[in-house]
Structures are given as C-alpha cells and as structure tokens.
Amino acid sequence: MSFDEIRGQERAIKILRQTMANNHLAQAYLFHGPDGVGKKKTAIAFAKALNCHTHSEDACGHCLSCRKISEGIHPDVTLLQQEKGEIKIGAIRDIINGMIYRPLEARKRVVIIDEADKCNLSASNAFLKTLEEPPVETVIILVSSNPDLLPQTVLSRCRRVSFRNIPVRIITEILVEKNGLAPSAAENAAYLADGSIGKAIALASTDVQQVRGDILEGLAGKEGAPGILFDLAERYSKDEGLFYDALYWFSTYFRDILILKSGGELALIINKDLHASLSEIGDKISVEGLLDILSFIQSIYKGQERNMNRQLALDVLGNKIMEAVA
C-alpha cells in the first residue's frame, strides 16, 4: 500500500508529503479520525515513503525496504497493536529499549502504535518519557479513533493529522473494484457505513445481511409476525454482538419508518434499499408507537434497563412492536 493507493484521505496525505518535501518531520504524529477510514494503512505507507530506496515522498512498493515493511519483517519498522483490549507496559518497554540504538537499515525508524488509546496508564507514562526525549532518526505514529482518551501530556507532544469519513461514492467504488460486490449492494453498504470502509465491508457480509433480512421479515410478516419476532429474540439474545447488531437494525428501521411517515426525503433514510417495505410497515404503525419503541431501544443502549437480560429486553421490544402495529 502506497499513498497513491489510499482513497479518500487526500488532505492527510498532502500534509505528510509536504512534511517530507520540506524536511519538517515531526518526531511524533497522532493520526486521528473515525474507525475504518485508513489511518493505519496511511501510517504504514508513511513508514514506507520515509524509507523507500527509489521514491521520495511515496513508496515504490518494490524495493527491499518497501517489501520488508509490507511483510512486517523490517527490523526498524514496528507496528504495535493491542492484545486483549490493552497495550501493556511490557510491549512499550520492548520498543523503548530498541530505540537506544541507531536504526539498522532504515533512514527513519518508524514505530506505529495502533489504537494508542488502549495504552494502560503505566504504558502511557513510560511512553511519555520517550516523547519527551525522542531518540534520533525515529518517527512515532500514534493511531487513534478516540484521541480524547489519551493523556493531554501525550497529545501535546504529537503533531495531529486528522482523517475524515470517506464519501459514499468512493466507498462504493472500492467495494465494487476490490471486494467484487454488485454496484447496487455496494452502494447500499456504503450508505449504511457512515464513511467507514471497514464498516462497509462488514455490513456487506452475508451474516449482517441475514440479520437485516430476518428482522424485516419479522416486522413485515402478517399472520406470523409475533412468532417470528419472539424467535428472533431467542436467537439474538444468546450473543452480545448479535444482540447489539439486531438492536441497531431495529433502531434504523424504526427511525427510517418515522422519517418516511412524516414525509421526509428518501435521501435521509438509512435503509434505502428497503424503503418500499418500510413504507408499508409504516402504514400499519402509529407515530406514538414508533416513538415508544425508539425510546425503549435508546434506554437499552444507555444501560438503563440493567434489570433486564438480553432475552427479556428483546421480548419487551417484541411486545411493544406488536402493540404499536395496528
């Protein structure tokens, strides 16, 4: 992956190219922005560009340095990732100890800390010392979608580079070109993904489409509806991930129905591909009922229904839906 191959982050990449061209490299960077928009990919491309044997300000992808970085075997380029939700002090210490020496092969040693906000307190403190007295020929890149969780003392020592949501048009193109999706499916996943390629790819998966389909069937079903809804409750309460996936889709469906019912524009709805079915469901359901359902879903998200287990929460939701449907 070189800068040229990263889509939708032209602004961030322009800044990085300029710092290389002007020889104004910072010793530490913070790449921040939403999940799944290419921050880590850009950090790796930056490491390559800083060390490429043939190109300046970008990576050729073919020289020994570029290939070693691609394969994760370059001795001077380290990518640190969280383990079990945490970056521990041991991992940070290993990196700091390695920084005593000059780089073995690279012009610039590059240390990328992905999800840097997952550093525990002692790891952050150890790391802060390194940022205060940065080693020679080293560029540190912190990658984070939650930079507010990083200590201010760490943030103040990093040059910030912000990454933005990727436009629907570009996500659609990527899903068609790289993931082989049909254009209509790609466009729909792109709309749902809220600017994140990572999310779009996950949304296009068959599992997620299955959840969406099941729920819609439960809502649209005529005589079988109560049965299907309680069936879903049983299935989706067993697994926390599935439970929140299901809850998410329920909430987008009811939000969309509310918009359609109040004459809102089609452009505002999330599930554009299903607008005909959602309109039909909307005809059978009252605005009051919709608001009640949406506020119940909100309260589950906010953890206000702690006395309910997942199965009970979905059963109550099913009951509310049955009551709301005339």
Place of tokens 């006395």: 307
Q: How far is the CB of 137 from Zn ion (least distance, A)?
A: 18
Q: How far is the CB of 50 from Zn ion (least distance, A)?
A: 10
Enumerate the β-bridge partners of residue 143: 31
Interaction between residue 49 and Zn ion (CB under 5 A): no
Interaction between residue 63 and Zn ion (CB under 5 A): yes
CB-wise, 61 or 218, nearer to Zn ion? 61
Q: How far is the CB of 194 from Zn ion (least distance, A)?
A: 34
Interaction between residue 66 and Zn ion (CB under 5 A): yes
The tally of CA atoms less than 13 A away on the side-chain side of residue 46 is 36
CA neighbor of 248 nearest in space, from 218, 199, 211: 211
Give backbone dihedrals phi and psi of 137, rounded to 5 degrees, phi first: 50, 40
Interaction between residue 20 and Zn ion (CB under 5 A): no
Number of residues that bind Zn ion (CB under 5 A): 4
CB-wise, 60 or 208, nearer to Zn ion? 60
Q: How far is the CB of 110 from Zn ion (least distance, A)?
A: 14
Interaction between residue 60 and Zn ion (CB under 5 A): yes
- Chosen residue from 44, 45, 52, 317 binding Zn ion by CB under 5 A: 52
Q: What contacts 24+ positions apart, CB below 8 Å, involve 230-235?
A: 230/315, 230/318, 232/314, 232/318, 233/311, 233/314, 233/315, 233/317, 233/318, 234/311
Interaction between residue 150 and Zn ion (CB under 5 A): no
Interaction between residue 232 and Zn ion (CB under 5 A): no
Rounded Cα gap, residues 252 and 305, in angstroms: 20
Contact (Cβ atoms closer than 8 angstroms) between residue 167 and residue 34: no
Question: Given the rule CB under 5 A, which residues bind Zn ion?
Answer: 52, 60, 63, 66
